Amino acid sequence: MIQLQPSSKPAVIYPDSDGQPMADNTKQFRWIVVIQQNLDWLFSDDPNVFVAGDLLWYPVEGDNKKRVAPDVMLAFGRPKGDRGSYKQWEEDNLPPQVVFEILSPGNTKAEMNRKLLFYHQYGVEEYYLYDPDRDTLNGWLRRDGFLDVIDPMENWVSPRLDIRFDTSSEELQIFRPDGQRFLSYAEIAEQAERERQRAEEERQRAEEEHQRAEEERQRAEEEHQRAEEERQRAEEEHQRAEEEHQRAEEERQRAEVAEEKAQRLVERLRAMGIDPDEI
């Protein structure tokens, strides 16, 4: 008797890399890092905002051909943590709501159109495309189920991120909700160094103020000690004067007593008929 073995489909493999470099040049890489790191910093206190850069996103289980690696993506409602790729069916079927692409000379118009269609089809709410060479920023916002062009982009505030895009200068500037500009690693390091130097200067000034205050305290203590010594000397002088006055008073009293005794003696002699002046 022949037993038929149940057929099984091979497991679908979802590669963690598409074999493409993260960036084609230093400018594109710098912008990817600046946006990804600043957004990661912006939502660092929210454990349910996942921020990633150049991570493959697979929207459909069982299909490893439908995939894209946004330069930066954010998934609200998904926990932070390391991932080899973003498999949407393992993420409560939540697509990244916000994606960023940084254009490089190697990106073709057809490629970017396919990405726009992909983001439209699989639920992205906000899509931003920046060309650092031409300093142009384009954006799309999902309205009524469609990714619609944002116009104008100048001073546009992202509904999801609450960040503002300023395209009026020579290079794109992005501002956090508190008004602080997105900074590069070099700018953050420079700012930290300036803060460190200011803190050191403040520490030195505080140390100098403390030293001056200590010197003033010591001078005041010395003045107080000198004043106390003067007071003690004055007290001793007062006591000596008091003692001299008391001795003088005692001498005066003794003299009065002696005079009274002499006067009584004179009176007794005269009463006895003796003239004291003739004695």
- Report residue 104: phi and psi, to 5°: -130, 165
**Distance, CA of 149 to CA of 143 (rounded, Å):** 10
Distance CA 131, CA 232 (A): 86
CATH class of 26-182: alpha beta
pLDDT of residue 107: 86
Per-position b or e across 89-106, b if 16+ CB within 10 A of its CB: eebeeebbbbbbbbbbee
Q: Rounded to whole angstroms, how far apart are CA atoms 59 and 230?
A: 92
Instruction: Please list the alpha-helical segments (H only) found in the chain.
Output: 26-42, 109-121, 185-271
Predicted confidence band at 1 (pLDDT cuts at 50, 70, 90)?
Answer: very low
Q: Residue 187: pLDDT band by 50, 70, 90 thresholds?
A: confident
Average pLDDT over all residues of the chain? 90
DSSP code at position 6: P
| Dist. CA 33–CA 27, nearest whole Å | 10
pLDDT digits (tens, 9 = 90+) for 246-269: 888 888 888 888 888 888 887 888
Cα four-point dihedral sign 44, 46, 49, 50: positive
Indicate the pTM of the whole model. 0.69
Dihedrals phi, psi of 102, to nearest 5 degrees: -110, 115
pLDDT digits (tens, 9 = 90+) for 85-143: 999 999 999 999 999 999 988 888 999 999 999 999 999 999 999 999 999 999 999 99
Asked if pLDDT for residue 40 goes beyond 70, the answer is: yes
> Do 140 and 126 meet the contact criterion of CB atoms below 8 Å apart?
yes
Q: Which residues pair with 129 in a beta bridge?
A: 101, 138
pLDDT tens readout for residues 2-26: 454 555 567 899 988 877 766 678 8
pLDDT value at 56 more than 90: yes
CA torsion sign, 103 to 105 to 106 to 109?
A: positive
* Range of weakest confidence among 51-65, 66-80, 133-147, 220-234: 220-234
Which residue pairs, CB below 8 angstroms and at least 24 apart, start in 61-70?
61/12, 61/87, 61/88, 61/89, 62/12, 63/12, 64/12, 64/13, 64/14, 64/15, 66/118, 67/14, 67/18, 68/115, 68/118, 68/119, 69/18, 69/20, 70/96, 70/99, 70/100, 70/101
